[in-house]
Amino acid sequence: MYTLKAVEDIEECACIWKKYIEASSIFDLWDIRKCFSDSFQRNNDFLILENDGEVQGILPLSWIEESGFYSFFPGESWSGKTWLEQNKAYACDNNAFQILIDNAPGPIHIRYMCANSLYFNESLTVDEINYHLYPGEYNYSFDQYMQKFSGKSRKNLSKEIDKFYAQGALIRYNKLEDIDTLFEMNLSAFGEHSYFTDNRFFNSFESLIKYLWDKNMLRITTVTVGEKTAAVDIGTVYNKEYVVLAGGTNPEFTGIAKLINFHHIEWASNNKFDKIDFLCGDFGWKERFHLSSKPLYEIKLHTAKEIPLEHVKDRTGTYGC
């Protein structure tokens, strides 16, 4: 017989996540999610579906009070939108997933869900497009990757990038003080539309950076031109994937983003990473750089259905803690 439990205690939620959510992506790590959970302090509702005592599915939810809906844990919302990608529910089959969705404790809006053939139903719609590159498709050769561009485009790009090197452009790595410059440039470029205007998100990102730095997983890439900082990006490497998390550019150096993005691709190719993830949003360059794309999905339901399942609060630590 199916039963549905809702777990709220954060320590119990941590045990459930670590036991059942496969850590294939950097975004699957509990400690990454916790950087945001600690700052946003949402009320959590991890739905656990069981059948005769065996876990059949898990849907980790957080209540976003200011928006009036549940989102995927940890609910790191800014202006009604969450940021963390590659969200995954755990379910043994499509039926289990549907039961979890149908029994959400209130309205839900879950974004950036990974495609999974088991989970397609009428609730899923395309949210945004993720852009990435597989260096192995180009035999881990940056030069071979560049052949995707027309001869004219390669010539123009080389001319634009060589201009910066002629002005003394240099690339340095892992200078923690450059993080402050990244925040400043991002805020200057996006103003009130920058995630970092929300202190909760800013503090979350500082915690994320500290965690990655302490684990030797943080890569800071900085381009300087003469005495000035022209661009700063931060990324991380996990499971042979290089993820570019955030960045900022100095508007004085128009086109510098091309230099740093090509550098990411060349560096990842030289290190034979399986994948470079540039996250969602084209921002006017990703398709032109011949990146691969895949849709991520959202579930948006204004009201939950009522199905006669036992819905109890469980804080007893019965999931392997």
Spell out the residues 6+ positions from residue 313 whose beta carbon is closer than 8 angstroms to its own.
Answer: 5, 6, 7, 8
8 Å CB contact between 34 and 60: no
Who contacts 129 (Cβ-Cβ below 8 Å, separation ≥6)? 280, 281, 282, 293, 294, 295, 296
Average model confidence (pLDDT) for the chain?
A: 92
Nearest to 233 by CA among 282, 178, 312: 178
Q: Kindly list the distances between the CA atom of residue 306 and the CA atoms of 71, 254, 310, in Å, as whole numbers in the listed order.
A: 19, 55, 11
Distance CA 107, CA 99 (A): 15
Residue 307: per-residue pLDDT: 47
Does 312 score more than 90 pLDDT?
no
Q: Does 264 score more than 50 pLDDT? A: yes
Four-residue CA torsion sign, 226, 227, 230, 233? positive
Domains plus CATH for the chain? 2-128+296-313 (3.40.630), 135-273 (3.40.630.30)
pLDDT of residue 117: 57
pLDDT (tens digit per residue) in 179-191? 999 999 999 988 9
Say if residues 118 and 126 touch (Cβ distance below 8 Å). Answer: no
pLDDT score of 239: 95
Distance separating the N- and C-terminal Cα atoms of the chain: 24
Give the pLDDT score at 98: 87
Mean pLDDT throughout 133-160?
A: 97
Res 316 pLDDT > 70 = no
Tell me what pLDDT residue 80 has.
84
Question: Which pTM value belongs to this model?
Answer: 0.91
Beta bridge pairs of residue 231: 223, 249
Pairwise CA distance, residues 294 & 97, whole Å = 22
Angle at 240 between CA 24 and CA 230, to 5 degrees: 115
